[in-house]
Amino acid sequence: MKYSRALWVVLMLSALRGFSQQNTLDYYLTHAINNSPLIKDLQNQVLSFSLDSQIVRATLRPQVTGNSNNMYAPVINGYGYDEVITNISQVSALISVNKSILSGKSIAAQLTNFRVQSQSAFNTIRISQQDLRRTITDQYIVTYGEQLQLVLNREIGELLRKEDSLLKRLTQNNVYKQSDYLAFLVTLQQQLLTTAELEIQYNFDYATLNYLAGLVDTTGGITPELQDPQLKLATLPDYTGSVFYRQYVLDSLKLRNDRALIDLNYRPRINVFGDGGYNSTLQFQPYKNLGFSFGFSVAVPIYDGRQKKLQYAKIDLLERTRQAKRDFFIRQMQQQKQQLQRQLAATEQLIDQINKQIKYTETLITVNERLLATGDIRLVDFILTLNNYLNARNLVTQNYVNRLKIINQLNYWQY
């Protein structure tokens, strides 16, 4: 059987036979994001902050209330409530109107607070999507790598079964010893067991992939084929443009607005009010007790025990914490990027070296197959060559999977 590097490239980069349907990485990412309850909750929070802004605007309009109070306190044989206090009876049916007079800065500060919280929730949605993409992609890569190993082991198993027929005949003709043939059978059985073990692990990791994406497996136990994710290294932006750094900017805006809200609490508050309707004790010309009233109230903060200064101090502490977290994040992100980029370069270099070894091993197997048919090579040497080939192929598969994982980690920082 002739092995070629072209065949290996096809095995590595395309879907192979033996599975019933095809699924791509985008398929799982789309379903995972759509099914995520956390993202749905955050989306509802964004809508909730929009409603809060509308509620604030609604409170700025006059608030109209209808009130009716009806009371009778009888005095019997001189016993009862003091008439001076109760007026014996009272009947009222009033419509009252209240309106708070707020400055433009006060209104703007409240609306800014909801806007910043909404932007923060939206930014959290993007971060959660990034976390979910990384998790799903990593699990997809693991499952795809096991698919490649499973295909390879099936291929090697087919080769060994083919050679088994030839070696059995050669052993019967005393070309090879019975002990050599038994050693070959042990290798064949070990290969079949390894393939069965890989199938179990592949099915488990495929089920895990569906679980993480919130999908229900409807394939009836037939594991579908996964296509090569073909991840490419995205152009990494400056850290100031990422959603992760954006959160620190939003936190700064929130603290600044919190300081403004504290200032507004120490400004005079004015409220105007009025009412109109019927209000009477029914004691004197009750039919004339229709009327109205109006007025205003003013509240001026004078002294609160230095609470304002203490609230400022709390905000200062939060700001220092924010700056410390931001600086640590920048250092950590830059270090991780550099480490992953070096690791990616080393992995790609190693893959090239292993591919060269595979090419030489393929040539050696082709030559050994010809010698095997004539009995001019020891069977143990042929088995050793096959093992070397299998190890090299497994090694390049593992490094290919590692390369995809590294790219996934680097692409995590692209937004």
- Mean pLDDT by runs of 10 across the 415 residues of the chain is 41 41 82 92 89 84 87 84 79 85 77 88 92 94 92 86 80 78 84 90 91 80 82 79 90 91 84 84 80 86 87 94 94 90 92 88 80 75 81 89 93 81
- pLDDT given at position 392: 87
The answer for 80, left when phi > 0, alpha when psi is -120 to 50, beta otherwise, is left
C-beta of residue 130 within 8 angstroms of C-beta of residue 415? yes
C-beta of residue 184 within 8 angstroms of C-beta of residue 167? yes
Q: Which residues pair with 73 in a beta bridge?
A: none
Q: Which distant-in-sequence residues (6+ apart) come within 8 Å of 139 by Cβ?
A: 205, 208, 209, 212
C-beta of residue 159 within 8 angstroms of C-beta of residue 1? yes
- pLDDT given at position 7: 38
DSSP state of 68: E
DSSP per-residue string spanning 183-194: HHHHHHHHHHHH
- pLDDT given at position 325: 94
C-beta of residue 94 within 8 angstroms of C-beta of residue 277? yes
Burial of 144 (0-12, 13-18, 19+ CB in 10 A): buried
Correct CATH for 5-60+102-266+301-411 of 3.10.129.10, 1.20.1600.10, 3.40.640.10, 3.40.50.970: 1.20.1600.10
pTM for the model stands at: 0.80
- pLDDT given at position 85: 76
d(CA 355, CA 362) in angstroms, rounded, equals: 10
- pLDDT given at position 9: 43
- pLDDT given at position 365: 79
- pLDDT given at position 18: 39
Question: How many CA within 13 A on the CB side of residue 181?
Answer: 17
Question: How many CA within 13 A on the CB side of residue 92?
Answer: 14
The full set of domain ranges for the chain reads 5-60+102-266+301-411
* Tokens matching residue 145: 């790598």
- pLDDT given at position 22: 52
C-beta of residue 29 within 8 angstroms of C-beta of residue 136? yes
Give, in degrees to the nearest 5, the angle at Cα 229 between 4 and 387: 35
Sign of CA dihedral 382, 384, 389, 394: positive
DSSP state of 173: T
Q: Phi, psi at residue 69, to the nearest 5°?
A: -120, 125
Q: Phi, psi at residue 230, to the nearest 5°?
A: 50, 50
Q: Phi, psi at residue 223, to the nearest 5°?
A: -75, 125
Most distant CA pair in the chain, distance: 136
